């Protein structure tokens, strides 16, 4: 276990991911956790993340210097580097020149940390103050034009740090530097693999659910719920029932794919609820995005709860009649991921949160206990677990798709007819993207129908007056920020030609070239 101490600047999650990419398990803890508590968890190493720009700023978060003297190896990055320097008697001062973005560093002496790193390379910086003198006992390894001490180490004591951000993609050799710390300085063993996770989780779930407990899982069609369900199915077999609500806002072939591929791969019991009419009736006449989202969310919960009642109530009644001591508790499987856990402040939390549902048809005192087998995982790890479990590539590598589905990709009122148009266009775009082999380079490519917009075109001999669609291809690491993807022109051409030829109502294809921010990925 490596602990990543979060100083509150959004870098901690990325660092934790990079540590795991080095096959060392990591968790994030808040900087407010007492050092004694951190050490009590017996970490093999501690990493201090970046944070606010200056250690001298008012209210700047700190850490008890005991963290540096306990014998546990510590690595400081950016702000964490400055905390280490200052905490051990070095000197941190405003040099008057800020460094932000890509910066050239010069490695003077590689040492253990920068051993095989080229002496001149480019890193990502974001700081105002600089370390001007390293603490006693440290070797200075690198510098920049502005920063005399940009990296240092004291291998004897297991302490090291860099002024830059090794975790971001713009930093050259960042992962190598991190691995040098983890492996060569902290002597961590690189044993964290997806096989281990699956086995561990299956054991855990069996213990939690017991010999007779029943569980239910809502499938959304997305990778998270599919992988969560597949693990639980492995653990408890047909005591798991999966419920899939088809709200009619799914993409072409999506429901059939779940029915076919998911069941084939897992053998799970699947209940498909056809709720298209209910959703479309509720959405009739609605154009406001927030209102659409609220309606879809509300109808979804209603439908899912009714399905829960239908699946679980007879089981529970049965166990009460036969008095076979079956536990009354039922389990609800959720595909909660680690970033959700961290963001809701439960970084070190456990998984036995109880949620009370008051579902029509179920006993009032029925408690659902949550089963969240992906609580410690990042999205990319979930995909690897999915592969490990034998789920088909179409499920594991599919792009994220929002819960409200195509409902928020039709700008204007959502109707069955418009959904069908969008489904066709979207299917063509996805098919061509997949064929070009770019699926894994692109985070998502929503296709948006501007249903209330019409423009004039010409097709064959005739004038057309059709709708435009917008392609929204983006690259991203976590959907918090995104860049518009530079798709090859010939791919865009194929998509455009096919959509305008094959979907009668569409006579124009456009591409959204806005990054996030300022644009969001979805249009609504």
Q: Considering the complex, what minimum distance in angstroms separates the CB of residue 242 from ligand XMP?
A: 18
Q: Considering the complex, what minimum distance in angstroms separates the CB of residue 516 from ligand XMP?
A: 5
Q: Which is nearer to ligand XMP, 30 or 403 (CB)?
A: 403
Work out whether 522 is an interface residue with ligand XMP (CB under 6 A). yes
Work out whether 404 is an interface residue with ligand XMP (CB under 6 A). yes
387 is catalytic: no
Binding mask 501-520 toward ligand XMP (x if CB under 6 A, else -) reads: ---------------x---x
Q: What does 187-232 look like in DSSP terms, one character per residue? A: -------HHHHHHHHHHHHHHHHTTT-EEEEEE-SSHHHHHHHHHH
Give the whole-angstrom CA distance, residue 360 versus residue 480.
37
Which tokens go with 198?
């699956």
Q: Are 371 and 331 in contact (CB under 8 A)?
A: yes
Q: Which is nearer to ligand XMP, 122 or 514 (CB)?
A: 514
Q: Which is nearer to ligand XMP, 302 or 516 (CB)?
A: 516
242 is catalytic: no
Q: 359 by DSSP, 3-state: which? A: coil
The three-state DSSP-derived secondary structure of 116-167 is CCCCEEEEEEEEEEEEEECCCCCEEEEECCCCCECEEEEHHHCEEEECCCCC
Q: Which of 27, 31, 78, 299 is catalytic?
A: 78
Give the whole-angstrom CA distance, residue 88 versus residue 76.
12
In terms of C-beta density within 10 A (0-12 exposed, 13-18 middle, 19 or more buried), how is residue 457 classed? middle
Q: Which is nearer to ligand XMP, 323 or 518 (CB)?
A: 518
Binding mask 261-300 toward ligand XMP (x if CB under 6 A, else -) reads: ----------------------------------------
Give the torsion through C-alpha atoms of 269, 275, 276, 278, to 10 deg.
Answer: -170
Q: Are 258 and 270 in contact (CB under 8 A)?
A: yes
What is the phi/psi pair of residue 121, to 5°?
A: -150, 170
The three-state DSSP-derived secondary structure of 287-356 is CCHHHHHHHHHHHHHHHHHHHHHHHHHHHHHHHHHHCCCCCCCEEEECCCCHHHHHHCCCCCCCCCCEEE
Give the whole-angstrom CA distance, residue 301 versus residue 524.
21
Q: Considering the complex, what minimum distance in angstroms separates the CB of residue 481 from ligand XMP?
A: 9
DSSP state of 102: E
Which tokens go with 176?
């190598």
Interface with ligand XMP in residues 384-403 (CB under 6 A) = 400, 402-403
Q: Select from 31, 24, 18 the least CA-distant residue to 67.
A: 31
Q: Which is nearer to ligand XMP, 119 or 520 (CB)?
A: 520
State the number of binding residues for ligand XMP (CB under 6 A).
Answer: 10
Work out whether 521 is an interface residue with ligand XMP (CB under 6 A). yes
Q: Considering the complex, what minimum distance in angstroms separates the CB of residue 316 from ligand XMP?
A: 30
Q: Out of 479, 491, 492, 511, which residue is the one contacting ligand XMP (CB under 6 A)? A: 479
Q: Which is nearer to ligand XMP, 413 or 477 (CB)?
A: 477
Q: Which of 165, 173, 247, 467 is catalytic?
A: 165
Q: Select from 465, 479, 472 the least CA-distant residue to 449.
A: 472
Q: Name, in order, each residue with C-beta under 8 angstroms of 337's C-beta and a sequence gap of 6 or more.
A: 224, 374, 375, 377, 378, 379, 382
Q: Which is nearer to ligand XMP, 160 or 408 (CB)?
A: 408
Binding mask 131-150 toward ligand XMP (x if CB under 6 A, else -) reads: --------------------
- For residue 443, give the H/E element and its range: none
Binding mask 430-469 toward ligand XMP (x if CB under 6 A, else -) reads: --------------x-------------------------
Q: Which is nearer to ligand XMP, 79 or 401 (CB)?
A: 401
Q: Considering the complex, what minimum distance in angstroms separates the CB of residue 390 from ligand XMP?
A: 25
Q: Which of 27, 153, 167, 424 is catalytic?
A: 167
78 is catalytic: yes
Q: Considering the complex, what minimum distance in angstroms separates the CB of residue 480 from ligand XMP?
A: 8
Work out whether 206 is an interface residue with ligand XMP (CB under 6 A). no
Q: Are 106 and 143 in contact (CB under 8 A)?
A: yes
Q: Which is nearer to ligand XMP, 145 or 520 (CB)?
A: 520
Q: Considering the complex, what minimum distance in angstroms separates the CB of residue 341 from ligand XMP?
A: 16
Q: What does 363-387 look like in DSSP terms, one character per residue? A: -TT-EEEEE-TTTT--HHHHHHHHH
Q: Considering the complex, what minimum distance in angstroms separates the CB of residue 272 from ligand XMP?
A: 19
Q: Considering the complex, what minimum distance in angstroms separates the CB of residue 375 from ligand XMP?
A: 17
Give the whole-angstrom CA distance, residue 336 versus residue 259.
23
Q: Which residues bind ligand XMP (CB under 6 A)?
A: 400, 402-404, 444, 479, 516, 520-522
Catalytic residues: 78, 165, 167
């Amino acid at each position: 276990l490596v602990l990543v101490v979060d100083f509150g600047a959004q870098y901690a999650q990325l660092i934790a991911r990079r540590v795991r990419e080095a096959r060392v398990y990591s968790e994030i803890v808040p900087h407010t956790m007492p050092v004694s508590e951190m050490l009590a968890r017996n970490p093999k190493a501690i990493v201090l993340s970046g944070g606010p720009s200056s250690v001298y700023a008012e209210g700047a978060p700190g850490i008890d210097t005991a963290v540096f003297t306990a014998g546990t190896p510590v690595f400081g990055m950016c702000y964490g580097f400055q905390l280490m320097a200052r905490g051990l008697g070095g000197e941190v001062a405003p040099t008057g020149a800020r460094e932000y973005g890509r910066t050239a560093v010069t490695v003077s002496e590689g040492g253990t940390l920068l051993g095989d790193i080229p002496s001149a390379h480019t890193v990502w910086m974001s700081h105002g103050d600089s370390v001007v003198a390293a603490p006693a006992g440290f070797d200075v390894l690198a510098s920049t034009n502005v920063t005399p001490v940009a990296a240092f180490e004291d291998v004897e004591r297991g302490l090291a740090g860099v002024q830059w951000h090794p975790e971001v993609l713009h930093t050259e050799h960042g992962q190598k530097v991190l691995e040098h710390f983890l492996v060569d300085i902290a002597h961590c063993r690189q044993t964290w693999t997806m096989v281990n996770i699956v086995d561990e989780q299956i054991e855990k779930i069996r213990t939690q659910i017991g010999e007779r407990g029943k569980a239910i899982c809502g499938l959304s069609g997305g990778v998270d719920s599919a992988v969560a369900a597949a693990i639980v199915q492995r653990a408890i077999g047909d005591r798991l029932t999966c419920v899939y609500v088809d709200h009619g806002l799914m993409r072409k072939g999506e429901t059939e794919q779940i029915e076919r591929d998911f069941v084939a791969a897992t053998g799970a019991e699947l209940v498909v609820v056809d709720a298209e009419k209910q959703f479309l009736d509720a959405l009739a006449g609605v154009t406001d995005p927030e209102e659409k989202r609220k309606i879809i969310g509300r109808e979804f919960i209603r439908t899912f709860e009714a399905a829960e009642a239908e699946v679980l109530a007879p089981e529970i009644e049965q166990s009460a009649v036969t008095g076979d001591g079956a536990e009354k508790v039922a389990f609800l499987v959720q595909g909660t991921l680690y970033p959700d856990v961290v963001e809701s402040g439960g970084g070190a939390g456990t998984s036995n949160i109880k949620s009370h549902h008051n579902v029509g048809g179920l006993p009032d005192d029925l408690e659902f206990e949550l089963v969240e087998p992906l609580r410690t995982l990042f999205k990319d790890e979930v995909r690897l677990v999915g592969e490990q479990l034998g789920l088909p590539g179409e499920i594991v590598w599919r792009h994220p798709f929002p819960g409200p589905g195509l409902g928020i990709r039709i700008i204007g009122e959502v109707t069955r007819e418009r959904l069908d148009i969008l489904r066709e266009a979207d299917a063509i775009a996805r098919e061509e993207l997949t064929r070009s082999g770019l699926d894994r380079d692109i985070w998502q490519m929503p296709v948006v129908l501007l249903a209330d917009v019409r423009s004039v075109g010409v097709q064959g001999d005739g004038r057309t007056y059709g709708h435009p669609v917008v392609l929204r291809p983006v690259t991203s690491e976590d959907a918090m920020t995104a860049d518009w993807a530079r798709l090859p022109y010939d791919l865009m051409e194929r998509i455009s030609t096919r959509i305008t030829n094959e979907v009668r109502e569409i006579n124009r294809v456009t591409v959204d070239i806005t990054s996030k921010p300022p644009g969001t990925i979805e249009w609504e």
